[in-house]
Amino acid sequence: MNKIREILKRYSMAFIFLLLVIIMMLLGTLGVTSFGNKMLEDMAGVDMQPRGVHLNTNSTL
């Protein structure tokens, strides 16, 4: 039990920092996901078409 307490005392700041980084990554992932879903909902009536050269041509290069 003493060994565990020594490890916790020595690396407590590292554990706290690691937990903060993990929480921030999860919040960022959830934020990007909700932003992407919202953006797709806002574009429901927009038809997306490619610009430039037609993609279905039978020309050889």
The string of pLDDT tens digits covering residues 23-50 is: 999 999 999 999 888 887 877 777 767 6
Structure tokens at 44: 């429901």
Structure tokens at 45: 């009536």
Task: Spell out the domain ranges in the chain.
Answer: 1-35
What contacts 8, CB < 8 A, 6 or more positions away?
A: 15
Whole-angstrom distance, CA of residue 16 vs CA of residue 43: 41
Whole-angstrom distance, CA of residue 1 vs CA of residue 8: 11
pLDDT at 19: 97
pLDDT at 16: 95
pLDDT at 22: 98
Q: What is the mean pLDDT of residues 11-34?
A: 95
